[in-house]
Amino acid sequence: MEKDTDIITKIKKNYGDFSKGHKRIADFVLSKYDKAAYLNASSLATEVGISESTVVRFAYELGCDGFAAFQRALQEVIPNKLTSVQRMEVTTNRIGDKDILTTVMQTDLEKIKQTLEDTDKEEFTGAVDTILSAENVYILGVRSAASLSQFMYFYTTILLPNVKLLQMSSSSEIFEQLIRTDDKSVLVAISFPRYSKRTLKAVQFASSRGSKIITIADSPFAPINEYATHKLIARSDMASFVDSLVAPLSLINSLIVAIGMRKKDEVKDIFEELENIWDEYEVYEKTDGKKE
């Protein structure tokens, strides 16, 4: 089956060829995807009323390397389909009586590990090269992703002279801010479920004007990736009423450090100048570790 097709589309497309048992699994997954994505093979088999081996064979028939791969594929495509109420229910079911601190932080650690394992090093290097060679760098992230775009802007504006953070209080303003974008520009677009239509429209507009597009998203199937020059995938945990963006932040941190290291002599001079300015204008509180 096609590798570039999401798992739900595969299920729908191949439904007519499934056996009776596999159709029962498909019906359950399609009607209760929010629950199915977080059940292990044994639990899913119990819910559907079939054998665990049938569930595993279903995963293989869909082109997955086992049930764990099927589960990851399902988790990858469902977040944008979940309402806030469903996300709250998923959070309750997943955590239950477990220690919240341990469960949440352990999940974040796993997402960072997944992101490190999945990141295409050539795409990462290509993104750095593209940013460094651009005459203008635009950064965009809305809603919960706005915090990521602001973090990236805060540091890249120190490292580079041509960085703009796109602000969106109305849908028309984004086009006004991008009116000068061209083939010498790059737009870094950050988007996580539930995917913002405004971000997608901005990406479409910039792409139509020849701009290079660097996307930072949770899945290859994120809508903005259709227009990407370089795709960076950062795993996130969106099946919660709180968007966990630890792994995306770590990836952005890596981008900033990579840019800084490529310009380390210039950056060193900039920070030396900034230190003098900060001292002169008393930006930071000075501490010597001594108590009065």
The CATH number given to whatever domain includes residue 141 is 3.40.50.10490
Q: 169 is in which domain, residue-wise?
A: 116-279
What is the structure's pLDDT at 1?
Answer: 41
Q: What is the pLDDT along the chain (292 residues), one digit of tens a residue?
A: 444 467 888 999 999 999 999 999 999 998 887 778 878 899 899 999 999 999 999 999 999 999 988 988 887 776 555 555 555 566 566 666 667 788 788 888 888 998 998 899 999 999 999 999 999 999 999 988 999 999 999 999 999 999 999 987 666 788 999 999 999 999 999 998 878 899 999 999 999 999 999 999 988 888 999 999 999 999 886 545 556 789 999 999 999 999 999 998 888 898 898 889 988 888 888 776 555 4
Query: Do residues 19 and 156 both lie within one domain?
Result: no
- φ/ψ of residue 150, rounded to 5: -70, -40
What is the structure's pLDDT at 2?
Answer: 46
Domain presence at residue 97: no
What is the structure's pLDDT at 3?
Answer: 47
Domain presence at residue 127: yes
What is the structure's pLDDT at 44?
Answer: 92
Check if the beta carbon of residue 19 is closer than 8 Å to that of residue 53. no
Check if the beta carbon of residue 252 is closer than 8 Å to that of residue 121. no
Q: Which residue carries 């005459």 as its tokens?
A: 135
Distance in angstroms (rounded) separating the CA atoms of residues 75 and 69: 10
Domain presence at residue 104: no
Domain presence at residue 233: yes
CATH number of residue 15's parent domain: 1.10.10.10
Query: Do residues 16 and 124 both lie within one domain?
Result: no
How many domains, in total, are found in the chain?
Answer: 2
b/e 207-231 (16+ beta carbons within 10 angstroms → b): beeebbbbbbbbbbbbbbbebbbbb
**215: Cβ–Cβ under 8 A, 6 or more apart, which residues?**
189, 190, 191, 203, 222, 224, 225, 227, 228, 230, 231, 232
DSSP 182: -
